[in-house]
A and B are shown apart, each in its own frame.
Chain A
Amino acid sequence: MNNDAMNNDAMNNELLALEGVGKSYGTVRALQDVSLTLRAGEISCVLGDNGAGKSTLIKIISGLHHHDEGSYTVGGEEVRFDSPRQALDRGIATVYQDLAVVPLMPVWRNFFLGSEQGHRRWGGLRLDADAMRATTREALARMGIDLHDVDRPIGTLSGGQRQCVAIARAVHFGARVLILDEPTAALGVKQSGVVLKYVTAARDAGLGVVLITHNPHHAYLVGDHFTLLKRGRMAGSHPRDEIGLEQLTTEMAGGSDLAELSHELARPAVTGPAVTGPAVTGPTTTAEPREERPQP
């Protein structure tokens, strides 16, 4: 594996680091003592169940919320973002699951939204629509997305394609850190595969990627580092070579909680009509409960 070599020269490539970060909403502690380091060319996965604090974490990284405790550094410099724009200016782009794009706008308008390109002759006032169309087509092609008609509303693309366009957009506009919020949550198996392919394409382009997901299978396919969140706290932080998929799945599913759950769900001592109607799905569920969750 080239992992070691990569780690060595990546040591100085630290893009961002969170150190003991916490956040409260009123009296509710949404997040406490979370640490995370991201280097260039690395995919760092953040895993957790619903309500584990994943969204709070991205909102802090992407500049939508302030953190209350700990430190957040970008390129070694402590930061406190007031808006997503400021984070963007530091090269931190976020692709949200549901608000990545404006559905009724053409693909090329979405691609350039917020970073529109003007004609030089008109002092940048007039949009250079043809150049923007061509650039969109090229940038998408470079990421391996073949889209002939960039004039169609982006809402007509599939969920996976939309995510891919949003990722290609972030890469094109010079993002150094890409934060992906549950990019595969609403997608089928095939579509998820496509999106994960573009995630690795972004990594190969030298970006650091924070991948938020609750699907350990998807995370393990691409991740270099895994951070587990549970009820707002860090429940584990492992580099890839220290953890296997099975262990990750178990930890993700709640470790001891799962054992308890499996005990509760177990059939009551065979025979007899104790359970009426269809039994509680039988032993396959308890063996691999993760299969239930992320399916679209």
Chain B
Amino acid sequence: MSTPDLLAQDALVQDALVQDRPAALRRLLARPELGALIAAAVVFLVFAAVAEPFLRVSSLGTVLYAASTIGIMAVPVSLLMIGGEFDLSAGVLVTTAALTSSMVSYQFTAVTWVGVVVSLAVTLAVGWFNGWMLGRTRLPSFIVTLGTFLMLTGANLGVTKLVSGTVSTKPISDMQGFASCRWLFASEVTVGGLTIKATVWWWLGLLAVGTWVLLRTRFGNWIFAVGGDAAAARAVGVPVARTKTALYLGVGFGAWVLGQHLLFSFDTVQSGEGVGNELIYIVAAVIGGCLITGGYGSVVGSALGALIFGMASKGIIYAQWNPDWFKFFLGAMLLLAALLNAFVKRRAERGPR
């Protein structure tokens, strides 16, 4: 018998074997968020064992809050990464959103809702700019958004100093509309010792919408396609540039939500904040199973990534370890996750052989 025949037979036999394994189990093993789920469980068990206060109900609220401030951004950032692009400007864009909202309301002595709406327009415009530049210049998104990142960092400081005279904005808590804005973006509910901040609801909402869009809509199909193989997607008629621009608009929206939260919970905003957070969003997305090269990943995974971040950042404090080690832990986690993702991707490509 010739070699191809033997190979074909071999493949048939293996196919038959694979069919025997329950489909549900096979599917679970190929899920992008499997690694993050295991990691989250391990991190939880470790801190539950070493830090007694970690298991208190009140701690859960604290951990969820820390996770939500990352998770709100990790949702659009993970969608963007599945679409094959980065956004390094996401961290400072949050600060831009808060600054814009505060300064517009203060300078025009307007109802704070005016600032909130203008801020949304600005963050969407920045997102659109990123997407447009990417489509127009065909430069890597790393470079395009690195440019936006630096420009926004400079503009945040420059404009704030120009308008307020200092590096932070003026308090706006006595202005009209502040209370209702605070209710929407920065309120909290306490049920039986568990304090849930508004960001948690925003996070869960974005998570539900994000994962639904990704898995159950035509646009979601396009996200996978433009990240997996943009040329193939274009050849079957997917509007590649528009899909990517829409993903950047999503990041703008997330930055707007988080920016409003910061403003309405702290009243004033420091213009130098936000630098470095973009990397944490990316880390959350990667830990959640997003491939750096795009085309594969999950929104739910990014939430697990954010949860790991929340548990670790607070758990280290509860365990009374030196918090300096937090970044070290995060880096190690990222490397492990990236390796695991590469492995899962190879598995997915090779199939259940």
Determine if B218 is an interface residue (Cβ-Cβ < 8 Å).
yes
Given contacts A84-B235, A156-B350, are A127 and B228 in contact (CB under 8 A)?
Answer: no
Closest to B8 in A: A190
Contact of A99 among B220, B224, B235, B352 (CB under 8 A): B235
State which residues 78-132 of A face B: CB under 8 Å. Answer: 83-85, 88, 94, 96, 99-105, 109, 112-116, 118, 125-127, 129
* Distance (whole angstroms) from the CB of A257 to the closest CB of chain B: 33
Output the least CB separation between A98 and chain B (Å): 9
Closest to A103 in B: B349
Q: Is A153 located at the chain interface by the 8 A CB criterion?
A: yes
Question: Which of A84, A127, A129 is B234 in contact with, Cβ under 8 Å?
Answer: A84
Instruction: Please state if A104 and B296 are interface contacts (CB–CB under 8 Å).
Output: yes
- Residues from chain B with a CB closer than 8 A to the CB of A94 are 235
Taking a contact as CB atoms under 8 Å apart, the answer to whether A127 and B351 are in contact is no
Residue from B229, B345, B351 within 8 A of A152 (CB atoms): B351
The listed residue (A109, A151, A155, A157) touching B27 by CB distance below 8 A is: A151
- State the Cβ distance, B243 to closest chain A Cβ, in Å: 11
Contact flag A103-B237 (CB < 8 Å), given A126-B217, A127-B217, A189-B4: no
- Contacts A84-B234, A112-B221 aside, 20 further interface pairs with beta carbons under 8 A come to A84-B236, A94-B235, A99-B235, A102-B224, A102-B295, A103-B228, A103-B349, A104-B224, A109-B224, A109-B225, A113-B236, A114-B233, A114-B237, A125-B217, A126-B216, A126-B217, A127-B216, A127-B218, A155-B351, A189-B4
A118 to B234, CA, bound (A): 20
Alpha-carbon separation in the docked complex, A85 to B23 (Å): 37
CB of A166 to closest CB in B, whole Å: 9
Closest chain B CB from A181 CB (angstroms): 10
- B55 touches A (CB below 8 Å): no
**9 tightest A-B CB contacts, nearest first:** A156-B351, A102-B228, A114-B236, A116-B218, A114-B237, A99-B232, A85-B237, A155-B349, A102-B229
Assembled-state Cα–Cα distance A190/B237 (Å): 31
> CB of B196 within 8 A of chain A?
no
Q: How many residues of A contact B (CB 8 A)?
A: 35
Contact indicator A104/B237 (Cβ below 8 Å): no
Give B contacts to A, CB under 8 Å.
4, 8, 19, 23, 27, 216-218, 220-222, 224-225, 228-229, 231-238, 295-296, 345, 348-353
Instruction: Please tell me if A70 contacts chain B, counting CB pairs below 8 Å.
Output: no
- Determine the chain B residues whose CB is within 8 A of the CB of A85 once the complex forms: 237
A116 to B237, CA, bound (A): 11
A84-B235, A85-B237, A114-B236 given as contacts; is B352 within 8 A of A104 (CB)?
no
Contact status B228-A105, CB under 8 Å: yes
A188 adjacent to chain B (CB < 8 Å)? yes
Measured between alpha carbons, how far is A216 from B228 in the docked complex, in Å? Answer: 34
B296 surroundings in chain A (CB, below 8 A) = 104
| Cα separation A85 to B218 with both chains bound (whole Å) | 16
Nearest-CB residue, chain A, relative to B231: A99
Q: List 11 A-B contacts (CB under 8 A).
A: A85-B237, A102-B224, A104-B295, A104-B349, A109-B224, A148-B19, A153-B351, A156-B349, A156-B352, A189-B4, A190-B8
In Å, the complex CA distance between A152 and B8 comes to: 19
B230 CB to closest chain A CB (Å) equals: 9
The answer to whether A155 and B348 touch (CB under 8 A), given A99-B235, A105-B224, is yes
The reply to whether A102 and B225 contact each other, CB–CB distance below 8 Å, is yes
A148 to B351, CA, bound (A): 14
